[in-house]
Amino acid sequence: MAKTSPKTGELCSQLISRMRQGQFERCYLLMGEESYYPTLVCNEIISRCIAEEDRDFNQSILYGSETTVDSIISEAMRFPMMSPRQLVVVRDAQAVQNLDKLSSYCASPLDTTVLVLLFRSSKLDKRTALYKAISANGAVVESNPLRDYEIPSWISEHFSSRGLDIDPAAAQLLGEFCGTDLSTLSEQAEKLAKGLDDGKKSISISDIEQNIGISREYSVFELNRLLNSKDRVKALRTASIMGSGARFSLPTATAMLYSNFNKVLRYAIVLEKNPRPSPEQKAKALQGVNPYFWKDYDVAVRNYPKVKCMQAISLLCEYDYLGKGGSPVTQNELFTELISKILNL
């Protein structure tokens, strides 16, 4: 079954659903810079492919740096013992020398063998014979990192798949805390779900604060809102407290602020052409922003029209450089200074 799903998450759900029905592909290629989905599918295969009592004779876990193509083919060509199938997993498959030679086996794989190639933070060239063979006779999962603006939607969909709803503001806050690492997000989501009271099906900001230990009041998420509305007193206080935190990183903070002002700038350009944009035009300008927050950007563009917004972005670039060692001043002082300058635009 070649990969056809436009979304990696949907494809993985389909593959796992088939596994739960006892249906496995003969070959799996699991790869990509983002490791969450390849690892998820690999773990599901190992968990479900071979009954626990049959694994000693019918399951082989190999490592790319310690094996060869000939050894992999030899393992794959064996027949299972008192089991309908056998499983051969190659972890860190990108480390196998001359891996493309495996294409001869994958072009005509045994029906009784499930072969899994798990790449770590890398990909197989799609032009190779091996990639084409697995695409034709198995399943390919390619997982690329999500962009910042895609994370809140991913969080919402992840909770929805578990029968839970999450408030848009809570999804934004969790995404800010975890970044784009889907494994970390999944772990925190599991922690959140376990911490909910029995019968509760919705997650709020208070749940995030109580179970994850994040304070919305002193987060970049809240600071962006305060900057957009030009609430000078609260913005400076929030920046000062954030900057004094043990885990504070000025480059990380400026990147998140840049993302906000980049959206404001795109929205300002749309409004310059059409003061009353359609919902579709607004959604395109504010890509990744839940409609719940559109009103915040209506305020932001009034406070930061195009020229001021570009000046804010210029300041963020300048202080990002300073925060990476371009200044003897502490990151906390630089951050407070940056926020003050943006508020004065």
Q: Which tokens go with 53?
A: 């009592």
Closest CA to 118 of 27, 210, 14: 27
pTM, entire model = 0.70
User: What's the rounded Cα separation, in Å, for the pair 88 and 75?
Assistant: 7
Instruction: Give residue-wise pLDDT tens across range 69-90.
Output: 999 999 999 999 999 999 999 9
Whether 327 has a pLDDT exceeding 80, the answer reads no
Q: How much is the average pLDDT of 228-244?
A: 90
**pLDDT-derived band at 203, boundaries 50, 70, 90:** confident
CA separation, residue 189 to residues 143, 215, 216, 239 (Å) = 20, 17, 17, 27
CATH 1.20.272.10 fits 217-343, yes or no: yes
For position 283, what pLDDT does the model report? 85
In tens, the pLDDT along 119-150 reads: 998 999 999 999 999 999 999 999 998 887 78
What does each C-alpha distance from 61 to 54, 150, 156, 166 come to in angstroms?
14, 34, 35, 38
SS3 115: strand
CB atoms within 10 A of CB 241: 14
pLDDT band at 215 (very low <50, low <70, confident <90, very high): low
Domain ranges for the chain, please list them: 8-142, 148-214, 217-343
Percent of all residues in the chain with a pLDDT value above 90, rounded to a whole number: 55
CATH entry, 148-214, from 1.10.8.60, 2.40.30.10, 1.20.1290.10, 1.20.120.720: 1.10.8.60
More confident residue, 194 or 75: 75
Q: What is the dihedral of CA 273, 277, 279, 281, to 10 degrees?
A: -10
Would the pLDDT of 160 be above 80?
yes
Which residue, among 39, 119, 128, 114, has the nearest Cα to 72 in the 3D structure? 114
- Measured CA to CA, the distance from residue 174 to residue 159 in angstroms comes to 12
Q: Please, which residues bridge with residue 62 across strands?
A: 90
CATH number of 8-142: 3.40.50.300
Give the distance from CA 345 to its chain's centroid: 34
Range with lowest mean pLDDT among 106-110, 262-266, 282-286, 309-313: 282-286
Strands (E), the chain: 27-31, 59-63, 86-91, 113-118, 139-142, 165-166, 202-203
For residue 330, the model assigns a pLDDT of 87
Query: Judging by DSSP bridges, how do beta strands 86-91 and 113-118 pair with one another?
Result: parallel
